[in-house]
């Protein structure tokens, strides 16, 4: 931006490249958080559903 201000060169291309890089970085971070959430949610789901399946299995006998 300083170079664009002092020389009059257009800054749109540099800003667009920077925005694209930021979007890609944020998309990778969001995907990593989503993968981590999938792993972290499996324990509570298992702890809730496993006893129910066991109870249904015992009740059927």
The residues spanned by each domain of the chain are: 2-60
Q: Classify burial at 3, counting beta carbons within 10 Å of its beta carbon; exposed 0-12, middle 13-18, buried 19 or more.
A: exposed
What integer pLDDT is reported at residue 1 of this predicted model? 64
Q: Which residue has the tokens 């559903």?
A: 49
Rounded mean pLDDT of 34-39? 91
Residue 49's alpha-carbon distances to 17, 24, 32, 39, 44, in angstroms, are 48, 37, 26, 16, 9
What is the CB neighbour count within 10 angstroms for residue 47? Answer: 9
Tokens of 1: 């931006």
What integer pLDDT is reported at residue 59 of this predicted model? 76
pTM score, whole prediction: 0.58
């Amino acid at each position: 931006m300083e170079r664009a201000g002092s020389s009059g060169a257009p800054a749109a291309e540099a800003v667009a490249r920077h925005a694209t890089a930021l979007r890609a970085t944020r998309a990778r971070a969001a995907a990593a958080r989503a993968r981590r959430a999938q792993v972290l949610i499996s324990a509570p789901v298992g702890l809730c559903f496993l006893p129910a399946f066991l109870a249904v299995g015992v009740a059927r006998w």
